[in-house]
Amino acid sequence: MTATVTSVIDGDTVVIDDGERVRYLMVDATELSSDDCWSTEARQANSDLVLSKEVELEFDVDRRDMFDRLLAYVTVDGVEVNTRLVERGFACVLHIPPNGNDRLSEFEALETAARDANRGVWGQCTEVACD
């Protein structure tokens, strides 16, 4: 499914042109509403990647969460946003089975590399709220 991102809620959630909220699979960014460390930077990174751009949404087993948001891997210009946010330290891994079962080790490796390199939250925050 393709869509255009019309607004960015935070580091892991966007709104697309049909009004649906899309929550990124396997990603947990710090919360803007709690004023968590690195939440503004995560939202900006997400915005820089997707705002006003056409994206491809790829679904897994469960297409919606308990808040009725679409759950998806999001790709823009050939770059998967979910992995990019984790590898650059803008988000942690959040695995809620059955979604992501086949990609868990990939995402965990990206988070470990970000931690080891002190990228993003791992180098800037004394307490990582999404950890």
| 20: annotated active-site residue | no
User: Active site includes 80?
Assistant: no
Q: Which of 43, 69, 84, 88 is catalytic?
A: 69
Nearest to 69 by CA among 57, 78, 79, 80: 57
What contacts 24+ positions apart, CB below 8 Å, involve 13-22? 13/69, 14/46, 14/50, 14/51, 14/74, 16/55, 16/57, 20/69, 20/70, 21/67, 21/68, 21/69, 21/70, 22/57, 22/69, 22/70, 22/71, 22/72, 22/74
The question of whether 84 is a catalytic residue gets the answer no
Q: Which of 20, 31, 56, 108 is catalytic?
A: 31
Q: What 3-state class would DSSP assign to 112? A: helix
Rounded Cα distance, 41 and 30, in Å: 10
Catalytic residues: 23, 31, 69
